[in-house]
Structures are given as C-alpha cells and as structure tokens.
Amino acid sequence: MKQRERRPGQKKTSAPAGESRRDDRAGRSLKRVARPAATRDTVRETAPAAVSRPLVARSGDRPAERVPVILESLGAGDFHLIDSGDGQKLEQYGPYRIIRPEAQALWRPSLAPQIWEKVDAVFTGDTDEEGTGRWRFPKAALGETWPLNLLGVDFLGRFTSFRHVGVFPEQIVHWSWMKEQVEKAGRPLKVLNLFGYTGVASLVAAAVGAEVTHVDASKKAIGWARENQALGRMEKLPIRWICEDAMKFILREERRGSQYDIILTDPPKFGRGPNGEVWHLFEHLPLMLDVCREILSPKAVGLVLTAYSIRASFYSIHELMRETMRGAGGAVESGELVIREAGLDGKTPGRALSTSLFSRWVPQ
C-alpha cells in the first residue's frame, strides 16, 4: 500500500477540485423515482431535516492548515486499480478482474483492448444509479459474494445491483491512519464510525484494540457488516452495531455526555432515511460536524470527513472544518483521495484517479 501526501509546492496529480467527485458513490442525484433502486443511499444512513439544535458559538483561533494534501493509494491487500479510461475502470478484487463505470476517467486506457476483454465481471445498466443495473459475467457465472482482505481484515465482496462491491478502497488511507493512531495510543481508543456501511473500517479499528461504535440506518448494511465480522471470526471484538439515523444518534450521545477519540463520518450528498427523513449535505453538514466536535474527547486524536460527488472545492469543507474546530488547536488538513493505476502486476504506477474530497482535524 503506497501513500503519499503532497503539500504546497509539490506537483498535484489529481483532478480539478472544483468538479463533482465520483458518480459511482451511491445515489448522489436529487432526482428520485417512485420506487428508488437499491443505490448505496438505500443502504446508508441519512439524517432528518427536522432534528436540529443551534450551532455552538465558537471562539479562539482556527486550527493551523495544511492544504492541499493528496492522499494516494497504489493498492492494498486484495485490491488494485489495473487501468482506466473511456469512462471505465479495470480493477482487481481478489481473484476477480472487473470493469465498472468511472465518469472521471476521461483519458484513453493504457492497456490493450484484449486485456480489458479478459475480465470476470462487467457492470452494465444504469450508470446514474437511478435504476437497477446488472452484472455480466463473460467467462462463467459467479456467486454473489467472495472473500476479500484489506489491512488484515477479512470481509465479503458482493456483486450488487448498484455497481458497488462492498468496499471503497480509497478509504484505506484513512483506515491506515486510524489503525496507526490506535496502535500507538497506549490506551483503548473509542472510535465512532458514522455512515459505517459494511463495517470494514470498524473491523480494522477493533482488530487493533479500539472500542468501536458503528452507526448506519440500513438493516441491510448492518447485516452485511455482521457477516464480515463472522467471516473473520471477530465476533468477540468490542463493536456496537447501531441501526439508527446518524444525526439522531449523535445528538443523543451529546445529551448523554458520551465522548469519542476518533470520529469517521462519510455522509452522502443526498439521501432519505427509513421514515422519510431528508439529508442534504450542504444544509445539514455544519450541524453534524458541530455535534461531532462536542462529542470529541479531551484527548481526541482525529475527526475525519469524506465527501463524494459534490460540486465544490475541498476548500469548502476545509474552511467548515476549521471553523468547527476553532479554539481546539491542532491542524486541519484537506484535499483529495486518489487511487493510482498499478498495472496488471499491481506494482507499476500509472495515472491517478481522483475519488473524493476529505478534511481531517488532528490535534497536532
């Protein structure tokens, strides 16, 4: 797994920050059909517009800043990006080579067409994720799930009808950072994983000694996460699986005086909750971060925000994070997550594919 941070004065290889990030990040369109298809927003938690409280008036200096920071992955465990181009990406997930749509791959593929033809699975159908897509298996029919491993954690890949396979490997740069913080802390850290999806991050943290609270509003996502836990025989690890709306949960934690040392939050751009709640990232993110600030422990080691498919610069979430953490000291580092092509052998660096924006507060 290769990770690099580029700071001012270094050459930046990512896509322009002002463009929307990654169309294949579950259901980012505001348009909804009468019976929405199973996009990742249907297996992700959303926050209700009705639940609110005033923002806390912050004082003091804003944290120092480090921008732009490019966190780069060349591959890890059972995953690497082989090639990309013509609006698609060619990926290796364990034993399977798959093709999925990728709107940001504006260039031509580097590898020959015959290599792209020798794949195990191709996602076809609705690339806007407003309708159900399907997988085509050129060689032979494959089962719905298969085992994968990242950072020493076993989990299940799954061919879903909304193009995803159960993990977003670009997030491994955050998971590796979190794993390092837990290992060197010298005490059990409390980790809150909001919008936790299939639980890979939660398992990574718990495996190295963290006490984890995993929150997602989807019973399907929680069920998948528990499958992953059982696959790795990690049932005894200290993980609380909470099937609930994220905003409701953290507001209740604030009232209870609960505190966490690390908070990961990965909200969608738009979504609907199980009871018709509506989440709009630009409307509700300030409150969510504000509450997260309140439930950080005095010895907290980080608050991480990732944002996909939004038409904004990383500076928008960077400045929001700095304002939210005013008076807390430390630093806010923000930029993009990118995955670099690694070729057929998984070791040959190629072009960088931008996947998302991020902002991360750290105490020093």
Band (pLDDT 50/70/90 cuts) for residue 127 is low
Q: Are 27 and 271 in contact (CB under 8 A)?
A: yes
Band (pLDDT 50/70/90 cuts) for residue 278 is confident
Mean pLDDT of 105-117: 98
The strand ranges marked E within the chain are 64-73, 79-85, 88-93, 96-101, 121-124, 134-136, 145-150, 153-158, 190-194, 211-216, 239-243, 262-265, 270-272, 278-280, 302-307, 331-340, 352-362
Share the mean pLDDT of the chain: 86
Name the CATH superfamily for 64-77+145-362: Vaccinia Virus protein VP39 (3.40.50.150)
Token match 């491994």: residue?
Answer: 172
Of residues 136 and 25, more confidence is placed in 136
pLDDT at 310: 84
**Encoded tokens for 70:** 């490019």
User: CA separation (Å) from 339 to 73, 89, 212?
Assistant: 5, 11, 27
Band (pLDDT 50/70/90 cuts) for residue 52 is confident
Distance CA 320, CA 339 (A): 25
Q: Are 204 and 229 in contact (CB under 8 A)?
A: no
pLDDT at 364: 86
pLDDT at 112: 98
pLDDT at 311: 85
**Encoded tokens for 161:** 């009808």
Work out the number of other CB atoms within 10 angstroms of the CB of residue 94: 14
Q: Which of 19-23, 257-261, 308-312 has the lowest mean pLDDT?
A: 19-23
Mean pLDDT of 166-188: 96
Pairing of the two strands 239-243 and 211-216: parallel
Percent above pLDDT 90 for the chain: 75
The pTM assigned to this predicted structure is 0.85
Whether residue 204 is predicted with pLDDT greater than 70 in this model: the reply is yes
CA 199, distance to chain mean position in Å, is 11
Mean pLDDT of 199-220: 96
pLDDT at 236: 96
Whether residue 6 is predicted with pLDDT greater than 50 in this model: the reply is no
Whether residue 48 is predicted with pLDDT greater than 90 in this model: the reply is no
Distance CA 235, CA 40 (A): 25
Q: Which of 35-44, 78-87, 274-283, 337-346 has the lowest mean pLDDT?
A: 35-44
Q: Which of 79-83, 131-135, 189-193, 255-259 has the lowest mean pLDDT?
A: 131-135
Q: For 279-336, write each residue's pLDDT tens digit.
A: 789 999 999 999 999 999 999 999 999 998 788 899 999 999 999 999 999 999 999 9
pLDDT at 309: 79
pLDDT at 87: 96
